[in-house]
Amino acid sequence: FLTNKQLSKEEAIKYSLEALDYFTLRTLAIISSNYFVYPISENEAQSVYEHLNYKYTIKSMKNWIEYARYRSDSFLKSKFIDVLKNYNNDKELANAINDLFNRTKDMIKNIYREFMILHEQHQYMSSAQNVVTSIEGEDTITDRLHGPELYFQYLQSVLVEYTSFNKEELKELCRHIVKSVTKVSSDEVIKQFFTYYHSSKESHEECNAYIHLCLEVTIEYLFKNKYILKKQNDLVFIMSKVAGQVLYSRGEDLTVSQAKEMGLNIIKKIKKNEHISDRYGTSLSNFLFIYLIVRAFTKTHYTS
């Protein structure tokens, strides 16, 4: 297609992408059948997906079709494009094809490894009915505790409009947990985070990665400590536990440390024109973390 002079440039690119899409989708089918010999349940598949981090390209894509197009587009922009056009170097041609093949093969292999880890540890996604009430005694979470993806998608939807994202009653609740943050500061940091989220593609991706990490850290903690949800129905109590054990602990969990670092970096960026101490920056970062989680967990309350 790329060297066919009867095709326009647009047609050559279009047909090349479609051919490469087919190659990647075919690779997915073959490699997946090699590793996943027997069908797995939807719950198992969802559990594996939730467990993956963003080093897996599929986590940033809506589906496998989008993944295949991403691979095709990247390939056409890579150093291998000239190899395909010239078609006169057998060794380099093999390397070019193997590069496209191996990227998908290695990802499926690593996904299967994650699946086996979960399988051995019996950590498939489970759900538990946990009704949590707000400080006014009103039901705020009436659905089951899900994995991060459901809440992540919900937060993305409310972050479209500031009025959907910003809830005064939730900021007040969070100030009961992070007591060093004032009302004025809490109003500012939520508004500034929303503005930063929409300021550029890079900031948008940075914030989404941070949100997803916050959810992963929190839900992993709650799944491991379900007694907190069974014995208490106070959202402030539950989130205080999360703050105490996740944000204020001095543990060596790398994911938790990464979440703290990402949050503080975002605070520094949105507060770059203000002179705040490192200690107060950490308080604002903790407040933002808790607010994002509370806003996600009150999904049912605001959509029912």
Give the mean pLDDT per block of 10 residues along the chain (304 residues).
77 90 94 85 75 84 90 87 75 86 92 80 37 40 61 93 92 88 94 96 94 90 75 70 76 78 94 87 94 89 72
**Separation of alpha carbons 40 and 38, rounded Å:** 6
pTM above 0.75, yes or no: no
| Phi and psi at residue 139, to the nearest 5° | -60, 130
List C-alpha distances in Å: 27 to 10, 20, 23, 223: 26, 10, 6, 35
Long-range contacts (CB closer than 8 Å, 24 or more residues apart) made by 65-70: 65/21, 65/25, 67/24, 68/20, 68/21, 68/24, 68/25, 68/28, 69/17, 69/21
Residue 140, helix vs strand vs coil: strand
Q: Report in angstroms the alpha-carbon separations of 44 from 61, 116, 206.
A: 19, 11, 29
**Between 90-121 and 64-76, two packed helices, what is the crossing angle to 10 degrees?**
150
Q: What are 281's two structure tokens?
A: 């920056």
Q: What are phi and psi of 140, to 5 degrees?
A: -120, -30
What's the half-sphere exposure (Cβ side, CA atoms, 13 Å) at 1? 14
